């Protein structure tokens, strides 16, 4: 087992990086069999995005606050923990956005693709699923499409549903919807394609973000699962993402 360690910029994570690499060594990522991410959920997302081409499983240890995507930190027995870890396979979302100037932008999201109004004017967004228009105009602050892994993040804060890992679903959740007032979103099969068209985009500018990658002044955004990419997260037995998602639904 050859470990490559990656730490966030927080002091605690950097201190633990020095300690762990001194004990276990530091393998170059080209020669590694596993990646150990030290930090919080934000760093885990960065590691997953930056190392997609290597196809290595990632075991995260929390050096931040919440750390929903991370395991608990411990400096001993790391080889045994990684060897015994359960695998949580995740397919990211692929966002393709067209901006007002005609440029196109593509990005991957492990958690969610979110659209947000850029000014005081509410966004007006038409929603299509698999080439069929499902909503002529959603008046809102924004809308997001979340993976099961991301359903407990921004999606949950926006009153979206928690989605069990492996359910084959993704969440389409409005952000502060004004009209239709009672629409709370939809659960869609994860192989469906969602297209979001921005109405009156000059007067009502909207930005689109795939996790942290933002495109401003978008006019058209498509979101679908990147089924050709599988990311493997590792978790201690009994603390998998699926079990955490179940517990999250009973928190008050």
Active centre residues (catalytic): 41
Q: Are 45 and 90 in contact (CB under 8 A)?
A: no
What's the token pair of residue 157? Answer: 């804060």
**206 contacts 116 by C-beta, under 8 angstroms:** yes
Cβ atoms < 10 Å from Cβ of 231: 22
Extract the tokens encoding 77. Answer: 């027995």
How far apart CA 4 and CA 24 sit, in angstroms, is: 10
- Bridge partners (DSSP) listed for residue 197: 126, 220
Taking residue 72's Cβ as centre, other Cβ atoms within 10 Å add up to 10
Helix (H, G, I), strand (E, B) or coil at 229: coil
109 in Cβ contact with 93 (< 8 Å): yes
């Amino acid at each position: 087992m050859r470990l490559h360690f990656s730490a966030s910029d927080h002091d605690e994570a950097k201190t633990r990086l020095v300690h762990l690499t001194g004990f276990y060594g530091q393998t170059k990522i080209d020669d590694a069999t596993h990646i150990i991410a030290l930090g919080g959920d934000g760093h885990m997302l960065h590691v997953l995005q930056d190392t997609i081409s290597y196809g290595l499983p990632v075991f995260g240890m929390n050096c931040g606050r919440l750390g929903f995507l991370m395991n608990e930190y411990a400096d001993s027995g790391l080889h045994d923990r990684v060897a015994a870890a359960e695998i949580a396979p995740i397919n990211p979302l692929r966002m393709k956005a067209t901006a007002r100037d005609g440029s196109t932008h593509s990005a991957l999201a492990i958690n969610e693709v979110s659209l947000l109004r850029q000014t005081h004017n509410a966004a007006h967004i038409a929603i299509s699923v698999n080439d069929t228009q499902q909503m002529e105009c959603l008046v809102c602050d924004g809308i997001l499409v979340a993976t099961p892994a991301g359903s407990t993040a921004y999606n949950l804060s926006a009153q979206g549903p928690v989605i069990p890992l492996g359910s084959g679903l993704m969440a389409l959740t409005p952000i502060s919807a004004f009209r239709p007032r009672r629409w709370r979103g939809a659960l869609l099969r994860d192989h469906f394609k969602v297209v979001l068209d921005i109405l009156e985009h000059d007067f009502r500018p909207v930005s689109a973000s795939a996790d942290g990658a933002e495109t401003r002044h978008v006019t058209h955004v498509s979101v679908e699962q990147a089924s050709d990419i599988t990311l493997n997260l590792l978790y201690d037995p009994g603390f998998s993402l699926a079990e955490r998602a179940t517990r999250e639904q009973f928190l008050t």
